[in-house]
Amino acid sequence: MAEQVSPGRPSSALRRVLVPLALAQFICSFAGSNMNVMINDISADLDTTVAGVQLAITLFLLVMAALMIPGGKLADRYGRKRCLNAGLALFGLGALISAVSPGLPMLIFGNSLLEGIGTALLIPPVYILTTLLFADLTGRARAFGVINGMAGIGAATGPLLGGLIATAFSWRAAFVFQALVIVVIVVLSRRHVADPLPPDRTNPFDIVGAVLSAAGLVLVVLGILMADDNWWLTAGFVLAGVLVLAGFFQWVRSRERAGREALLSTSLFRNRASNLGLITQNIQWLVLMGISFVVSAFLQVVRGYNPIQTGLILTAATVGLLLSSLAAERLAKRRAQHTLIMAGFLLTIVGIVVFLVLVAVSKAAWTFLPGLFLAGLGIGAMLTPSVNVVQSSFPEELQGEISGLSRSVSNLGSSLGAAIAGTILVVQLGSRPGSSYAAALIVLAVLALFGLVAAFFLRGSRPAARSGL
């Protein structure tokens, strides 16, 4: 049974509650990136292509993004702990199915669909429960720092751990590892985590809104994935997705005017700081996942590195991200949130530039390390401030909705990163491998520049430790 953490509670109580929640975020982020270093192994074993593996990776991230908002609403309606357990069960089942997949369709079913749906159900409760259980503002800031640090670390260590497991055993063992971690989380959460509030079943679930929001996001990302086949088809899918999303917001407004519960409150988009924070969240995850996919594909397909070699090189980004994540709480007490986010984007852009320059002048493995380290350092520095800006902009009664929206935006960024960077890479990989990976990284740097601009307009936000988180 979980206890609500208040200023007088010992730190051991905080750790007991936080461990399963942080582990849940870690394994979901790990699942989104560990397949990047196994592209060649999976494509050869399942008799598919790099594009096929990219599709599975992107669909996993897309399903998470498309269903995260409904997941937050379901957590409020049916209970945070119940949705957490349901998500863990689906995720674990999907991992086991993926481990025994005989072909790409079964891998997509297990990994992209079941694990994606499971993640969408379990991640919103992680953030809602953290908000509700950690009543002390300083403790809540620390908890969000740990959870978001584990999100970044999971995404960054996915290639290394995935490479180690794939090299020592097989790529299938990486999915068994995911299932084992899920078992640990279930045991720990059963002992230490409980829902402090009863579910709210006074309002019906907005099924139409859920369908419209998910369909719109799916159409946009699928359109980007089709860019290497037909640009007209791409434009059609993206336009259809935008129109469906416009219809979703119109539907939400109509329900609110009628006094009915909507999937997402339009009041969430009237807060300037939150809107800018959501933009920075989206872009930082887009850049992180894009870099991970492009560098992993280049190392394996072009340079011929195996999974463990690829994972070891990507460890440079993991180290940078880990260092800045561990310093997040201390930095938040000394610097404004917008300053940390701006510094993060600047470091990330510099890291990409350094990466491109060094790799262009030498084929030595060490040339990958400095740029990846700087990029990881930059992304880790801004993960927690961006989430704090968004979560602290709303009262507790809106935490379910804003948590779902925040996670949806972040996972949409991850899926867009894999889709955009992967599409650029796949389009020209066979004929112009050097220029294709460089072009993908340049696009990511330009998008990071947009994130820097959004962070600049966040001026006036207070440090996270005093912002309500």
Q: How many other CB atoms are found less than 10 A from the CB of residue 457?
A: 13
- Residue 172 pLDDT: 93
Token digits of residue 78: 């049916």
- Residue 140 pLDDT: 66
The residues, any chain, with a CB within 8 Å of residue 374's CB and separated by 6 or more, are 320, 347, 348, 350, 351, 354
Token digits of residue 113: 């669909």
- Residue 159 pLDDT: 77
Token digits of residue 195: 């829902």
The domain 12-194+263-466 is placed in CATH, from the list 3.40.50.720, 3.40.50.300, 1.20.1250.20, 3.40.605.10, at 1.20.1250.20
| Burial of residue 39, with CB atoms counted within 10 A of its CB: 0-12 exposed, 13-18 middle, 19 or more buried | buried
The residues, any chain, with a CB within 8 Å of residue 438's CB and separated by 6 or more, are 356, 360
- Residue 362 pLDDT: 81
DSSP helix/strand/coil, 5: strand
Q: What is the DSSP letter of 462?
A: P
Letter for the amino acid at 26?
Answer: F
The residues, any chain, with a CB within 8 Å of residue 46's CB and separated by 6 or more, are 52, 101, 102, 103, 104, 107
Domain residue spans of the chain: 12-194+263-466, 207-262
Nearest 10 degrees: Cα torsion 274, 395, 383, 268? -30
Distance CA 224, CA 231 (A): 9
Per-residue pLDDT in tens (0 to 9) along the chain, 469 residues: 444 444 444 356 566 778 888 889 899 888 877 887 787 788 888 888 877 887 888 788 778 877 887 887 787 777 888 888 999 999 999 999 999 999 999 999 999 899 999 998 888 888 788 777 776 656 666 777 778 777 777 876 777 788 888 888 888 999 999 999 999 999 988 877 766 666 666 667 778 888 888 888 888 877 776 665 567 777 888 899 899 989 988 898 888 888 777 777 777 788 888 888 899 988 988 998 888 888 887 887 777 787 778 878 888 887 888 788 777 667 767 777 778 888 899 999 999 999 999 988 888 888 889 999 999 889 888 877 887 788 777 776 666 667 667 777 887 787 778 777 767 766 554 455 567 788 888 889 999 999 999 888 887 544 333 333 3
What predicted TM-score, i.e. pTM, was given to this entire model?
0.74
Of 206, 203, 175, give the one whose Cα is nearest residue 96: 175
- Residue 360 pLDDT: 82
Distance CA 39, CA 288 (A): 18
Residue listed under structure tokens 């679930």: 205
In b/e form, how buried is each residue of 381-417, taking b as 16+ CB within 10 angstroms?
bbbbbbbbbbbbbbeeebbbbbbbbbbbbbbbbbbbb
Of 179, 233, 223, give the one whose Cα is nearest residue 58: 223
Pair 68, 120: CB distance under 8 Å: yes
- Residue 201 pLDDT: 66
- Residue 107 pLDDT: 93
The residues, any chain, with a CB within 8 Å of residue 417's CB and separated by 6 or more, are 285, 286, 287, 288, 289, 290, 291, 293, 444
